[in-house]
Amino acid sequence: MKLRRKLFSSKDPYDFSKAEIFLDACRENYDHLITHCDDYKKISEGLGIRSSKDINRPSDIPVIPTMLMKQHDFRSGRYMVMATSSGTSGKMSHVRFEFGALMAALKMSIKVTRYHGIMTAKPCRYIVMGYKPHRSNKTAVAKTAYLTTFLAPAISRKFILKHTSDGYKPDFESIVEALKKYEKGRAPVRFMGFPSYTFFLFRLLEERGLSFKLPKGSKVMLGGGWKQFYQEAADKDTFYKLAKKTLDIDEENIVEFFGAVEHPILYTDCAFHHFHVPVYSNIVIRDPDTLEPLENGQTGLVNLISPLCTATPILSVMTDDLGILHDGSECPCGVKSPYLEIVGRVAPEDIKTCAAGAADILKGVKV
């Protein structure tokens, strides 16, 4: 996977001029997939693509819907690590990563987090608003939240979701106690995890009239999606205001990540909270009826493309998200690559996302 190595070694994670290397790395990945996965070969031939020579642009790459991955376990080579999407067993995607994919993911994470100033040498305290690692939990959400606690040296790690004999339970009181202690210290505090739990904590602090002045450099990092906030765009502003009011954290110190187990690319929002597409991936927005690619600015199904992995055929996956791709020039941050706005889901009542799952747990919590 020479071309993958070249692509993931790009110096600038948002260098728009890498389109040619990206397409070549996708062709290289495609050639591996059709010789290592009969299912993918059949899907590809069914779509009239017989060799990588038939691929002239990223949108030509045969697509696998994530819905299908939840029902069928696709494999395309040896692997070292497996991650699953959230969901009940039998309805999860299984994504396997080989050594080369892990190395590419590591290079990408270092470049992207450095670019956004998240990777630093200053030690800090982590509060993970998500799962405490446990051998029974193989979800990518748990793994990535834990991995982010290595982006700056950790003095301590606290997790809100504790594994009990009845499954995972949130422990807000221990977080409030920890904040009282951390406020007096000098080490920055970093929150990482689900926006839902973080938002819930802010509201709890506000209701109790508690506010903290966390040490300089403290950050709120969010991952796992805003899905339950889709209908209320104003909630993001409320969220930023509450972060300032309860923890004295400014909006510029709130960073959000976006990714999916079937598309393990690290999207990080810019200063204007836009998810620009990095060099490691491409996004095609498709017409929900004809599946034809749409122009930037139009709403359609989100198709995510990346040659990161060879052990699972996730080169081009079709999500059930509806989104819009905007021209990079519409954002004043200076990054030229387009950015993705997720606007909803195709069938929200049918699909339980990891964020919605977390929201379900919240319902059982008394404050």
Enumerate the H helices of 63-190 as residue ranges. 66-69, 99-115, 140-147, 172-184
Q: Tokens standing for 114?
A: 């450095």
**CB of 259: closest distance to Zn ion in angstroms?**
18
Pair 323, 306: CB distance under 8 Å: no
Contact call for residue 270 and Zn ion (CB under 5 A)? yes
Cα–Cα distance, 245 to 275 (Å, whole number): 26
CA-to-CA dists, residue 313 to 68, 73, 269, 281, 319, angstroms? 12, 10, 27, 15, 14
**CB of 112: closest distance to Zn ion in angstroms?**
14
* # of chain residues touching Zn ion (CB under 5 A): 6
User: Judged by CB under 5 A, which of 333, 343, 361, 362 binds Zn ion?
Assistant: 333
Kind and range of the H or E run holding 201: helix 195-207
Q: Which stretch binds Zn ion (CB under 5 A): 58-66, 96-104, 274-282, 357-365?
A: 274-282
Q: Which stretch binds Zn ion (CB under 5 A): 129-137, 203-211, 290-298, 323-331?
A: 323-331
Contact call for residue 331 and Zn ion (CB under 5 A)? yes
Q: Tokens standing for 215?
A: 């040490």
Q: Which stretch binds Zn ion (CB under 5 A): 150-158, 197-205, 250-258, 272-280?
A: 272-280
Q: Which stretch binds Zn ion (CB under 5 A): 18-26, 176-184, 228-236, 333-341?
A: 333-341
Q: What track of x and - describes contact with Zn ion for positions 38 through 67 (by CB under 5 A)?
A: ------------------------------
**CB of 277: closest distance to Zn ion in angstroms?**
11
**CB of 255: closest distance to Zn ion in angstroms?**
13
**CB of 334: closest distance to Zn ion in angstroms?**
7
Residue 208, CB-side half-sphere exposure with 13 Å CA sphere: 13
φ, ψ of residue 97 to 5 degrees: the values are -120, 130
With 0-12 / 13-18 / 19 or more C-beta atoms within 10 angstroms meaning exposed / middle / buried, residue 108 is: buried
User: Judged by CB under 5 A, which of 94, 190, 274, 286 binds Zn ion?
Assistant: 274
Q: Which stretch binds Zn ion (CB under 5 A): 41-49, 53-61, 165-173, 327-335?
A: 327-335
**CB of 339: closest distance to Zn ion in angstroms?**
6
**CB of 331: closest distance to Zn ion in angstroms?**
3
Q: Compare residues 19 and 333 and give the one whose CB is closer to Zn ion.
A: 333
Choose among 65, 69, 64: nearest CA to 90. Answer: 69
Choose among 5, 46, 49: nearest CA to 31. Answer: 49
Binding site for Zn ion (CB under 5 A): 270, 272, 274, 331, 333, 335
